[in-house]
Amino acid sequence: MDAVGMKATFNRSHFFLALCVVALTGCTGTNEQASEKTSPMPGIAMVDKVCSMCHGLTGESISPMFPKLAGQQKEYLKLQLADFKGHARSDVTGTQYMWGFTHLTETQISELADYFSSQSPMKADDDKPDARGELIFRKGLPESGIAQCSSCHGADGQGNGQFPRLAGQHAYYMIRQIKVFQQTDQRPRGALMKQVTHSLSDADAEAVAHYIATLGAKK
């Protein structure tokens, strides 16, 4: 498929996903009586009918366009869903697919976070670990003011509370997010990451992302 065809496919998928999200989460309006009769769909049903379209039924997404959620930190998931709901997180790619979740209830957010955090942790790539990436992850680059990733994300990249699990995440997705942290303010909870990654070169960003993708249980 050529680039034009791929773009058209993504646009159709985005449109269809948006329709599903609106249908499942409900639209706000002025008719209070109608609102009272609307029962928010349980989180587990949303996983099956909406989330799985991009992230996979267990959160083990196949496409590097969409982050893996399997075994992700519950607190981190809740915070990110709350940010999408409140428009606090505005990175372009994220909002392109997540804008319809502005109507999520607190119960749905909690149920979704419970579900994905309880799944088997995301599977690691089988590639050979990147030596430069391992150095950055475990020791940082003190001469450049870059702290080691493991200090917040855990010795094995398992995450901790509001610091997400990185082990096994798509390298492409992580590289893209590093760019967001470096170049924009579209992820307000990422102030610390912006500080840590500000002087990370493109080559080093790729190296550490590819190393982290090899952490954890193999596919």
Q: Which residue among 117, 146, 168 closes a domain? A: 117
Q: Which residue among 62, 83, 117 closes a domain? A: 117
pLDDT score of 99: 84
- For residues 181 and 143, state if they share a domain: yes
What residue ranges of the chain have pLDDT lower than 50?
1-13, 15-16, 18-19, 21-23, 25-37
- For residues 84 and 25, state if they share a domain: yes
Q: Which long-range contacts (CB under 8 A, 24 or more apart) does 29-35 make?
A: none
- For residues 81 and 156, state if they share a domain: no
Domain span including residue 167? 131-212
In the chain, how many H helices and how many E strands? 12, 0
Q: Which residue among 70, 95, 117 closes a domain? A: 117
Asked if residue 217 is part of any domain, the answer here is no
Asked if residue 125 is part of any domain, the answer here is no
Count how many domains the chain has.
2
- For residues 90 and 176, state if they share a domain: no
pLDDT score of 75: 98
Taking every pair of Cα atoms in the chain, the longest distance, rounded to a whole number of angstroms, is 62
- For residues 21 and 73, state if they share a domain: yes
Full-model pTM: 0.84
Contact 212, 155 (CB under 8 A): no
Q: Which DSSP string corresponds to 97-145?
A: HHGGGGG--HHHHHHHHHHHHTSPPPPBP-SPPPHHHHHHHHH-BGGGT
- For residues 98 and 153, state if they share a domain: no
Asked if residue 124 is part of any domain, the answer here is no
Locus of tokens 């475990």: 138
pLDDT score of 38: 55
Tell me how long the chain is.
219
